[in-house]
Amino acid sequence: MKGQVVSGDFGKIAMRVKADTHVELGELVVIDNLEEKFILQVYDLQYGSQISQQNLEMVAGMNLEEGSFSIMDAQLRNYQLALLKPILTVSKGSTMCKKLPSFFSQVREIQQTDLTFITTPKHPLFLGKLRSGSNALDFDILLEGEKVLSEHVLIPASTGKGKSNLMSCILWNLTTQPYAGMLVLDPHDEYYGRTGVGLKDHPQKHNVVYYTPISPPPGARTLKLNITKLKPDHFRGAITLSDPQRQCLFAYYKKFRKEWIRAIVEEKRIEGVRFHEDTLAVVKRKLIALLTLDVTDGRMYSEGIFDMIAGENTITEICMELERGKTVIIDTSFFSGSLEIMIASIITSEMFAKYKYYKRTGQLKAKPVISIVLEEAPRVLGKKVLEQGSNVFDSIAREGRKFKVGLIAITQLPSEIPKTILANMNTKIILGIEMNSERQAVIESSPQDLSQDNRNIASLDKGEAIVTSVFTKFAVPVKIPFYNDFVKEELAKIKEEKVIVDDSMFG
């Protein structure tokens, strides 16, 4: 037994903690009340005493100045109070808690048998083990992956709290699932595992496609994009353009189509259309810098991933792999932030257009959900960026769920993302956040009421998370496994299953 209910109101139930019993922030506890159970969570801890504060200070002084001084019945007179918030009422099913448990109800720790109402969804997405305080229970937390991914996921956390570890575990799990195609822009080249454990070690690595611009390992592909595939919209968010500069891009695209970039770089003129000389010069300079182009004797040459001849089908191939439910990793560790955003914009725009077409023609239901992983999401979803104009990621955040296209936005600064976009992200996997302003931004936009969880979020250790989602009945505390250990366990399970199958073949 953990303690007993002694006072409070609906949102703040006070439990006197049993002597020599430890209770932690975020711990889940249960009250058995006739034929139903109350599941509650600890959100604050306090000291309580039957002795006045003045006398407590005097006792402390006598201990400090004159040696030991004991209090009679110390465990009865001095104690801890845990403040609890009701989460669920469980009887034959589970419902939101709308009443108080009985006065003096006994409170116990949660057990696996209290969670039988949680069932495995059709398209499971594994996030970790259920966590009570800092202890992980042997109970998997599985969400309905297809819905979760199509309605966007936000992963906010301070540096070093385990964002990459979480994303690695999610990608490993999804590689076995055919219901989702994952587009991963990897600025640190960590998910494929070129130099360590990664998706290259997955038993179903045929479902992983890896593009890199330099020295592709066996089975990987060289990243080359044909420059004729670029459109003016692809530059939104990648580079800052004034209205005249943006008009210049569209005018050249309208006139020269596939050859529009070459026309700008080689300074070809458009009959009947005049731009200020500075406008064209600035646009040319920005394109050359971003696309790593070279101009010799008035002719354009490519030096980077954008090629004049190769890469004609790269974008089409990436989209086809995503449609097959595969995980496509783009190594962007060699690129500037602007170029990384542009590559993401090119592929995402093409994929979004395809899924819009499938929606119109009635083919969308048979297609897997597409999820785009964005590191440092405010670069494309931040308030300052969107003030300069919308982009494809903004469009997906607002309406992508209608077309089975979603975002996984990873950020240290959720407050930089507009509230309207945060509200559209229907699942938030909250890791430890140190800054109060960032915690408030997440709390205010969460599907469940987290107004009492500010301290809880601040105290989350590495690998600990709170999952708040429209697809869960309460904000679920989760312990995320360490990626290397998770991979070892998954590979060991596969070996055990294989041994069992082999043994059964021989009777």
Last residue of a domain, one of 65, 87, 115: 115
- pLDDT, position 414: 94
Task: Assess whether 461 and 367 both reside in one domain.
Answer: yes
Task: Assess whether 136 and 281 both reside in one domain.
Answer: no
Number of compact structural domains in the chain:
3
The CATH number linked to 394 is: 3.40.50.300
Task: Assess whether 444 and 408 both reside in one domain.
Answer: yes
Q: Is residue 312 part of a domain?
A: no
Q: 10: which residues sit within 8 A by CB, 6+ positions away? A: 86, 100
Task: Assess whether 38 and 160 both reside in one domain.
Answer: no
Of 487, 491, 503, 416, residue with least CA distance to 193: 487
Q: 156: which residues sit within 8 A by CB, 6+ positions away? A: 411, 412, 414, 428, 430, 431, 433, 438, 441, 442
Query: 85 forms bridges with which residues in the sheet?
Result: 41
Q: Is residue 499 part of a domain?
A: no
Task: Assess whether 329 and 213 both reside in one domain.
Answer: yes
Last residue of a domain, one of 276, 307, 338: 307
Task: Assess whether 197 and 280 both reside in one domain.
Answer: no
Q: Which domain holds residue 297?
A: 228-307
- pLDDT, position 55: 86
Q: 396: which residues sit within 8 A by CB, 6+ positions away? A: 348, 352, 372, 405, 406, 407
Pairing of strands 78-90, 94-96: antiparallel
- pLDDT, position 123: 92
- pLDDT, position 445: 93
Task: Assess whether 232 and 373 both reside in one domain.
Answer: no
If DSSP codes are grouped into helix, strand and coil, which group holds residue 160? coil
Of 176, 222, 168, 233, residue with least CA distance to 391: 233
Q: Is residue 248 part of a domain?
A: yes
Q: Is residue 281 part of a domain?
A: yes
Q: Is residue 27 part of a domain?
A: yes
- pLDDT, position 236: 82
If DSSP codes are grouped into helix, strand and coil, which group holds residue 248? helix
Q: Is residue 104 part of a domain?
A: yes
Q: Is residue 491 part of a domain?
A: no
Per-residue pLDDT 10s for the chain (507 aa) are 899 999 988 889 999 999 889 999 989 999 998 788 889 999 999 999 888 889 888 888 888 887 777 777 777 888 899 999 988 888 876 677 778 888 898 999 998 888 888 888 899 999 999 999 888 888 999 999 999 999 999 999 998 899 999 999 999 999 989 999 999 999 999 999 888 899 999 999 999 999 999 888 998 999 999 998 899 988 887 888 888 988 999 999 999 989 899 888 888 888 878 878 788 889 989 998 888 888 887 777 788 888 888 888 999 999 999 999 999 999 998 888 889 999 999 999 999 999 999 999 999 999 999 999 999 999 989 998 888 888 899 999 999 999 999 999 999 999 999 999 999 999 999 999 999 999 999 999 999 889 889 989 998 999 999 999 999 888 999 999 999 999 999 888 888 776 654 555 444
- pLDDT, position 311: 85
- pLDDT, position 499: 60
Q: Is residue 497 part of a domain?
A: no
Residue with tokens 């990648």: 238
Query: 295 forms bridges with which residues in the sheet?
Result: 300
Handedness of CA 59, 63, 67, 73 (dihedral sign): positive
Task: Assess whether 217 and 357 both reside in one domain.
Answer: yes
Task: Assess whether 337 and 216 both reside in one domain.
Answer: yes
Radius of gyration of the chain (CA): 28
Pairing of strands 180-186, 327-331: parallel
Task: Assess whether 300 and 388 both reside in one domain.
Answer: no
Task: Assess whether 254 and 145 both reside in one domain.
Answer: no
Query: Do the beta carbons of residue 101 and residue 107 sit within 8 Å?
Result: no
Task: Assess whether 55 and 85 both reside in one domain.
Answer: yes
pTM: 0.89
Last residue of a domain, one of 307, 339, 362: 307
